[in-house]
Structures are given as structure tokens and as C-alpha cells.
Amino acid sequence: MASNHVIENISMNKSFGGWHKQYSHQSSTLNCAMRFAIYLPPQVSSGAKVPVLYWLSGLTCTDENFMHKAAAQRMAAELGIAIVAPDTSPRGSEVADDEGYDLGQGAGFYVNATQAPWNRHYQMYDYVVTELPALIEALFPVSNKRAISGHSMGGHGALTIALLNPERYCSVSAFSPICNPINAPWGIKAFTTYLGADKSTWPQHDASELMSKATQLIPAKVDQGGADNFLQEQLMPETLVTAAKASNYPLALAIHEGYDHSYYFISSFIDEHLRFHFEHLNESK
């Protein structure tokens, strides 16, 4: 086993015939110890290699929020999909941080930071796209069929990563994503800090900007709560709709009246997202 594939099991719980497990490992990309969770459905016990859905969580979250609150394991077990949930940022006493909840540890924004001191550890884009999948595919009974999803900051991450790497993913979905971060307070703060004041680099991490110019298309599904208190100022789904029209992108976006930004919303519709990904993970590509 290669040294960069050494992992330590932290916990394991049986769930719907499969296993939820937490691991830590030393990330060469982030220069710190990282934790991730994986749900392995019961199909792997018979030797099957299953496809993987990567889930990216939002601000202040860890690998635990989705696994504990989304109620995704039952449908993942039924469909035979593994779920991998990384942490939302590098962590540790030597990792740069900020007093605000929307910057620093717990708020990596899934970009590669170029500005000191953040660039030493905050390389979440490379971690999610390259290092973590290589580790998962080397050590677990999974195939190289991948989908990606996320919530809020993680929805931004899922959309931008899929749009930049359409050959790596069969499908992408998001709950309440930050659709136009170059014009949203959360995004402006994070991009200024991590990427610098030169705004010419920012559109490469903006889902609406990327989708409007996309030429290689993969199916995309977005669900947004109509009672989300971040809807107008931070999330701006209308910009994604406009972008999809510009490039004829296969986007299905729905606004659900009465639902907010919480995991009550996510757990209400996660089964639909898993079925969506299952359909495309099982298509030839």
C-alpha cells in the first residue's frame, strides 16, 4: 500500500445493511490530517464495485452533517451507491483561520487558494478532484463512475467542480447552491481572501459564469427552498437559470415553497437526488 493511501479508521456503524465509516489520513495536497466519511452499501459484501456520489457540505459543516442528518443511507443502500463526504476545509492548529464562520476552517469554498497564508493548506479543489478520489478508488470496492453533489457552499463546489471536469462525473446536483459567488457577499469575501483582489480569476469558480459558456454538458439537478433566508442575497438561483439558457445546459432547477436552508429541506428531497444520480451513473459514457 502506497504511503499516500494510508488511512486510519475512526468509527464504523452498520446502516441499512451497509456500513458508515469515518477515516483520517495525512493529505499531501492540504498538508494536514484530514477526515472523511464513506457509506458503503450492502452490495459491496458480494464483491460488487459500486459507483460513488461525492457530497460537499456547506459553511461550518464537517463530514458528519450530511451523514447524520440527510437520511441518505436507506436509498443509497437500495440503489447500490457509495457516498463519500469529505470535510469542508483543512483543519489543525497550524492551519490559517478566521474568526468569521464564513472564512477559514470550515469554509474552504472548494478552491485552490493562491494568497498567503491560505495557499499553504487551502487547496480544496485539488483535494476533492484528485487526491480523495484516488484514495477512495485505491482502497474501497468502488468503480470509477462518479457523481457529485452538495449544499450551499458545497453546492457551489459541486457545480463548479463538475463544470470544470465534466469528463470525471456522470452527473451533478446541488441543494441551495451559491450560484453566482462573484456577486454574493459570501463569495466576494472568500474569493478576495483566497484568490486575491484580481477579479479576473474569480469566474473560474462561479457556477453561473461557467455554465453560461459550457460546451461539454452533463445532467444537472438543483433544488432550492423558497423560504430560504439566504435566497436573494447569497444564492441567486436565477443567475444559474439564465446561464443554462445561454448554453442550452441540461439543468433541472426547482424552487420548493416553504422550505428553508436546513437539513430538513435536504432530507425531504435527497432520495430524488440519489435516484437522479443512479440513472446517470448507470449510463454508458
Indicate if the alpha-carbon torsion angle 174, 145, 78, 22 is positive or negative. negative
262 is catalytic: no
Q: Which of 32, 181, 211 is nearest to 121 (CA)?
A: 32
261 is catalytic: yes
Catalytic residue among 151, 156, 261, 273: 261
CA-CA distances (angstroms) from residue 29 to 8, 61, 85, 109, 252? Answer: 18, 20, 17, 15, 34
Catalytic residue among 228, 273, 277, 280: 228
Are 276 and 254 a contacting pair, CB within 8 Å? no
For 229, phi then psi, to 5°, come to: -75, -5
Q: Put the strands of the sheet holding 172-175 in their side by side order.
A: 7-15, 18-27, 32-40, 82-86, 50-56, 142-150, 172-175, 220-225, 251-256
CA dist., res. 90 & res. 205, Å (int): 19
CA-CA distances (angstroms) from residue 107 to 61, 71, 133, 194? Answer: 8, 23, 21, 11
Expressed in angstroms, the distance from the first to the final Cα of the chain is 30
Q: Which DSSP string do the residues of 139-153 spell out, in sequence order?
A: HSSEEEEEEEEEBTH
CA dist., res. 125 & res. 88, Å (int): 11
- For residue 216, what is its C-alpha cell? 461539454
Does an H or E element contain 168, and which?
Answer: none
228 is catalytic: yes
Catalytic residue among 152, 173, 176, 208: 152
Nearest 10 degrees: Cα torsion 87, 93, 96, 101: 60
Catalytic residues: 152, 228, 261
